[in-house]
């Protein structure tokens, strides 16, 4: 859209405010709201100044001025505000030079798409994330010197089969690991998920389905694939809508990978494909009808999987999901026939739908950094012809210990992932997509989380050691 188009839209829709949105390094959507009277063509062309020192992982206070650059093709009417508000997603620029700020996640995604084109490998990359989430009715937690605890509840959770409710307990609810996917009344999330999906459709998002997931109180909505930066924008809107529709229903949504012990965690499988000259690059006559380029792409993903964990699984909680022996894909292997490896090739009859699915990411990821890192690893595989080895067309969970020991795994902790990123990041620097400063700042930011986690006594430790 042009600046004139946006101004006309605001007038036609009687928009009262412009909500300026951007994403911080951790992946949290941030915003500033500007009254419509101040928005003209000059405003939209020049951008909006803000204090970057207030965003963790960005600038220090002595050099804090930063500029938000509007992507006018991203505008949509917010579905939740009482006053009609137009939203726009932004990238970050240096105000004195106009150059992209190297620690801006959205800018990284844009550079990744530009690098793909300049490489000659392809001219478009598509991402199809599948982000799972939990819905709870009551959430309490404490992190204090004398108390570290959490307590969650959901009326429809499996642990409430014998709970007393004012109107009685009707008993219909999925069991642990039994939520995929019975109809109502066992599934109580139909209406809330339908409203989430309908809200997404109303603001122009491409969606297709929804369902209950495997774990108790776990759900998923279907996003139709899109180009890398655009799809990262869509995932930010996905999370925003899930959180706010849940809030309107008096419920609480979380994208934490592992909020419940003993049940499945939330993943975010990411389907990826590259196109060139209007043709799918990943379709061919090799294994599972893949092209040689697709196999090399998989080789890059598997080689750099531990580094990728720093972006695809960026929380300490992520590694309570990525545990060997459970259903989460921790083994660095690929297959078209099972879902137990890190990479799967989904079955399809159409060459246009041929894609590669990374199964280890989770929804705590910053989508701009996650998608960019995955694409850079795959492109490194194509450039350097990295052989992924033989496909593992067997149930990796049932392998004998001696066979299992020969298959490498992803990281077992966020600390390990950050160490891997520090040691192996040259492939991310190609085309200046990521920068050394950005990676160093990201590691420093995430190490703060690691240290907070590692330095805090845990209730389990009281159970194990208090009386020793």
Instruction: Catalytic residue, from 359, 362, 380, 415: name it.
Output: 359
Which of 104, 220, 234, 263 is the catalytic position?
220
Annotated catalytic residue within 132, 187, 234, 263:
132
List the one residue out of 187, 362, 166, 354 whose CA is nearest residue 264: 362
- CA-CA-CA-CA torsion sign (268, 339, 309, 113): negative
Give the helix ranges, DSSP H, for 27-99.
41-46
Ligand-binding annotation for 461, yes or no, is no
Q: Which of 330, 304, 437, 436 is nearest to 383 (CA)?
A: 304
Phi-psi region of 181 (alpha: psi -120 to 50; beta: other; left: phi over 0): beta
220 is catalytic: yes
Q: Is 339 annotated as a binding residue?
A: yes
Active site residue 213: yes
Q: Is 352 labeled as ligand-binding?
A: yes
Whether 357 has a binding-site annotation, put simply, is yes
Distance CA 366, CA 364 (A): 7
Region for residue 85 given its phi and psi (left: phi exceeds 0; alpha: psi -120 to 50; beta: otherwise): beta
Q: Is 432 annotated as a binding residue?
A: no
Query: Which is catalytic among the residues 19, 104, 130, 263?
Result: 130
Q: Which of 357, 362, 415, 425 is catalytic?
A: 357
Both tokens of 353, joined, read: 């739908």
Q: Residue 393 burial by CB count (10 A; 0-12/13-18/19+): exposed, middle or buried?
A: middle
359 is in an annotated binding site: yes
Contact 426, 303 (CB under 8 A): no
41 annotated ligand-binding residue: no
57 preceded by a cis bond (ω within 30 of 0): no
Query: Do residues 36 and 87 make contact, with C-beta atoms less than 8 angstroms apart?
Result: no
Is 132 marked as binding a ligand?
Answer: yes
User: Is 415 among the annotated ligand-binding positions?
Assistant: no
- Beta-carbon contacts of 155 under 8 Å, excluding residues fewer than 6 positions away, are 137, 165, 188
**Residue of 13, 41, 51, 83 marked catalytic:** 51
Does 21 count as an annotated binding residue? no
Identify the bridge partners of residue 344 per DSSP, sorted by sequence position.
335, 357
Q: Which of 24, 104, 213, 233 is catalytic?
A: 213
- The yes-or-no answer on residue 51 being catalytic is yes
130 catalytic residue (yes or no): yes
Phi, psi for 177 (deg, rounded to 5) = 60, 20
Catalytic site residue 99?
Answer: no
339 is annotated as an active-site residue: yes
| 173 catalytically annotated | no
Tell me if 332 is assigned to a ligand binding site.
no
Q: Are strands 65-70 and 85-93 parallel, antiparallel or unpaired?
A: antiparallel
Length of the chain: 468
- Residue 111 DSSP one-character state: H
Q: Is 390 annotated as a binding residue?
A: no
Instruction: List the one residue out of 240, 243, 268 whose CA is nearest residue 253.
Output: 243
Which one from 155, 188, 339, 449 is the annotated catalytic residue? 339
Place of tokens 């997404």: 200
Binding residues for ATP, by number, are 208, 339, 352
Binding residues, by number, are 130, 132, 208, 213, 220, 264-265, 269, 321, 327, 339, 352, 357, 359
Binding residues for Mg(2+), by number, are 130, 132, 213, 220, 269, 357
Binding residues for L-glutamate, by number, are 264-265, 321, 327, 339, 359
Active site residues: 51, 130, 132, 213, 220, 269, 339, 357, 359
């Amino acid at each position: 859209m042009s600046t004139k188009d946006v101004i006309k839209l605001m007038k036609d829709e009687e928009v009262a405010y412009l909500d300026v949105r951007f994403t911080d390094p951790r992946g949290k959507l941030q915003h500033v709201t500007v009254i419509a009277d101040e928005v003209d063509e000059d405003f939209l062309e020049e951008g909006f100044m803000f204090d970057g020192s207030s965003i963790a992982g960005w600038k220090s206070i002595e050099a804090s001025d930063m500029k938000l650059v509007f992507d006018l093709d991203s505008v949509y009417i917010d579905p939740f505000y009482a006053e009609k508000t137009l939203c726009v997603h932004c990238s970050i620029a240096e105000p004195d030079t106009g150059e992209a700020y190297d620690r801006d996640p959205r800018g990284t995604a844009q550079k990744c798409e530009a690098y793909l084109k300049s490489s000659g490998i392809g001219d478009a990359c598509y991402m199809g994330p599948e982000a799972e989430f939990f819905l709870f009715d009551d959430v309490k937690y404490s992190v204090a010197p004398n108390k570290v605890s959490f307590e969650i509840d959901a009326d429809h959770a499996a642990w409430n089969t014998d709970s007393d409710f004012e109107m009685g307990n009707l008993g219909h609810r999925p069991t642990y690991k039994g939520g995929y996917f019975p109809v109502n009344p066992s599934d109580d999330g139909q209406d809330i998920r339908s409203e989430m999906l309908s809200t997404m459709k109303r603001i122009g998002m491409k969606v297709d389905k929804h369902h209950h997931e495997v774990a108790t109180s776990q759900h998923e909505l279907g996003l139709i694939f899109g180009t890398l930066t655009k799809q990262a924008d869509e995932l930010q809107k996905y999370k925003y809508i899930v959180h706010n529709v849940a809030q309107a229903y008096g419920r609480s949504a979380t994208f934490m990978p592992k909020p419940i012990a003993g049940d499945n965690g939330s993943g975010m499988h990411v389907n990826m494909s590259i196109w060139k000259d209007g043709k799918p690059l990943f379709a061919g006559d090799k294994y599972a009808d893949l092209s040689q380029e697709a196999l090399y792409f998989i080789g890059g993903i598997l080689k750099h999987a531990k580094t990728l964990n720093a972006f695809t699984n960026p929380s300490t909680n992520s590694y309570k999901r990525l545990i060997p022996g459970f259903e989460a894909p921790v083994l660095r292997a690929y297959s078209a026939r099972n879902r137990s490896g890190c990479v799967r090739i989904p079955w399809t009859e159409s060459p246009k739908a041929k894609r590669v699915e990374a199964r280890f990411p989770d929804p705590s990821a910053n989508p701009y950094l996650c998608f960019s890192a995955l694409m850079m690893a795959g492109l490194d595989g194509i450039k350097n012809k990295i052989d992924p080895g033989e496909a593992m067309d067997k149930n990796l969970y049932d392998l004998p210990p001696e066979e299992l020991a020969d298959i490498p795994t992803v990281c077992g902790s966020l600390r390990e992932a950050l160490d891997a990123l520090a040691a192996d990041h040259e492939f991310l620097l190609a085309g200046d997509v990521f920068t050394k400063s950005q990676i160093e700042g990201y590691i420093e930011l995430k190490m703060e989380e690691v240290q907070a986690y590692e330095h805090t006594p845990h209730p389990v430790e009281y159970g194990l050691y208090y009386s020793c």
